[in-house]
């Protein structure tokens, strides 16, 4: 208001800034950095020198280092030069700038390492190229070490060892491995073993078959029984291949036939393959001659035949060109079956005569004895082929002079053999 005596408010004043300190000239700043750099370089040199002294176990200011007092007395610059020269002389290198204590220790260890080469000792230079021949490398020793650590006992392998101990549940066998092989009691043989310790005394040498490879302890499982079974199957297969007849003892029967043991294996003879199949239960305890019908180790199937054994034994007595005598046992539309002491031969209608036949009944009758020549033998299928036409002098003679031909059969058979040999030679 005009004329009022009240004071007017004052405006706030701006704060006054303090005067900044005067800046140093650029030249002074540059000099300070240079001094700082020199100080850092001097401090970096001190750890290198002390590390070098520690690696050499030398204290430059003690009496153990000759001339150390002189280096100290001659001033710091001279002392550093002497130490540098000392390091050059000891380490054999003229440039140690920038090295750390690890580098120095590594150089010293390289100088001390040596290796043998062909009987001489040489210093190892880490920068030198090396080959396998530079080392003491023995190939024979290396292979021997591999053999020592090679696992012993592959499944299916036959091993030989000695008994080192017997327990109630099995036998321990030393077969040359890190640990002995173990043979369970039920694998100790084909038969029943009552006293295992008596059957397998300590030190007894045996052959076993590995049935399970090494476990974590290096022990393998072995078996005498499995090895015996393998050998039995191999022998039976060989006998079947050669067509041999085996003698077996019947130990049981069922509805289909009888059972027996052969080479430690269980064999089966069907009723149809028995000479007396109607009363097969009475055969238990008896010994029969049998031949092999089927031998299969994979499924353990062994089928035998008494009839085949009779045939096999009879076949061994027969040969092609032989004159035999038998009885007519059956008449078929295609010919006659002739009983030849346990085996049957077939006289086919085409081999009865070289003439024409209106009916087979007009030549031979069932039960009549005849003589014929063997022209073919097949032991595998049990077949014998017979021929009476070779005994004829003229085609159809057997239809008119049958009795005469049978009486002169021996002489006529000799001529027939000559004819057969000529046919074989012409065919060959």
CATH of the domain at 169: 2.40.50.140
DSSP reduced 3-state for 313: helix
**What is the mean predicted confidence (pLDDT) over 235-249?**
87
Ramachandran assignment for 112, one of left (phi > 0), alpha (psi -120 to 50 degrees), beta (any other) = alpha
Please give the angle made by the CA atoms of 415, 421 and 424, to the nearest 5 degrees. 145
Residue 353 near residue 391 (C-beta atoms within 8 A): no
Look at the chain and report how many structural domains it folds into: 3
DSSP reduced 3-state for 376: strand
Residue ranges making up the domain that contains 212: 158-225
DSSP reduced 3-state for 227: helix
Residue 11: what pLDDT? 53
Closest residue by Cα to residue 338 from 296, 381, 302, 385: 385
Least confident of 33-42, 139-148, 305-314: 139-148
Judge whether residue 68 has pLDDT over 70.
no
What's the pTM? 0.47
* 201 and 169 in a common domain: yes
| Sole residue written with tokens 């049935």 | 211
Q: Does residue 43 belong to any structural domain of this protein?
A: no
* 303 and 335 in a common domain: no
* 363 and 264 in a common domain: no
Judge whether residue 239 has pLDDT over 80.
yes
**What is the mean predicted confidence (pLDDT) over 150-155?**
65
**Residue 18 corresponds to which tokens in the numbers above?**
């303090």
Judge whether residue 252 has pLDDT over 90.
yes
Residue 319: what pLDDT? 86
């Amino acid at each position: 208001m005009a004329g009022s005596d009240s004071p007017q408010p004052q405006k706030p004043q701006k704060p006054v800034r303090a005067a900044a300190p005067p800046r140093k000239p650029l030249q002074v700043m540059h000099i300070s950095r240079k001094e700082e750099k020199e100080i850092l370089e001097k401090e970096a040199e001190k750890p290198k020198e002390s590390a070098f002294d520690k690696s050499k176990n030398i204290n430059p200011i003690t009496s153990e280092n000759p001339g150390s007092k002189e280096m100290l007395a001659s001033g710091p610059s001279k002392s550093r030069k002497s130490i540098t020269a000392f390091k050059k002389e000891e380490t054999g290198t003229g440039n140690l700038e920038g090295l750390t204590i690890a580098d120095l220790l590594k150089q010293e260890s390289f100088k001390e390492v040596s290796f043998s080469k062909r009987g001489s000792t040489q210093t190892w230079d880490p920068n030198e190229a090396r080959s396998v021949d530079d080392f003491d490398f023995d190939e024979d020793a290396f292979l021997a070490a591999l053999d020592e650590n090679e696992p012993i006992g592959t499944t299916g392998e036959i091993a030989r060892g000695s008994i080192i101990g017997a327990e109630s549940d099995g036998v321990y066998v030393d077969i040359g491995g890190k640990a002995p092989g173990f043979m369970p009691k039920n694998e100790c043989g084909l038969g029943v073993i009552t006293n295992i310790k008596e059957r397998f005394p300590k030190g007894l040498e045996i052959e076993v078959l590995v049935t399970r490879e090494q476990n974590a302890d290096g022990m393998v499982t072995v078996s005498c029984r499995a090895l015996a079974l393998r050998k039995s199957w191999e022998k039976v297969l060989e006998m079947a291949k050669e067509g041999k007849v085996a003698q077996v003892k019947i130990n049981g029967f069922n509805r289909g036939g009888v059972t027996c043991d052969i080479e430690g294996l269980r064999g089966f003879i069907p009723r149809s393959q028995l000479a007396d199949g109607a009363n097969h239960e009475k055969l238990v305890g008896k010994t029969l001659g049998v031949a092999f019908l089927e031998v299969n180790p994979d499924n353990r199937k062994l089928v035998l035949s008494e009839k085949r054994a009779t045939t096999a034994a009879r076949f061994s007595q027969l040969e092609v060109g032989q004159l035999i005598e038998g009885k007519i046992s059956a008449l078929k539309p295609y010919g006659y079956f002739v009983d030849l002491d346990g085996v049957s031969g077939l006289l086919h209608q085409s081999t009865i005569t070289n003439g024409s036949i209106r009916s087979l009944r007009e030549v031979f009758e069932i039960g009549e004895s005849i003589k014929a020549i063997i022209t073919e033998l097949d032991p595998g299928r049990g077949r014998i082929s017979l021929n009476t036409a070779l005994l004829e002098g003229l085609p159809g003679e057997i239809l008119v002079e049958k009795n005469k031909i049978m009486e002169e059969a021996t002489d006529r058979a000799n001529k027939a053999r000559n004819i057969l040999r000529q046919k074989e030679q012409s065919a060959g």
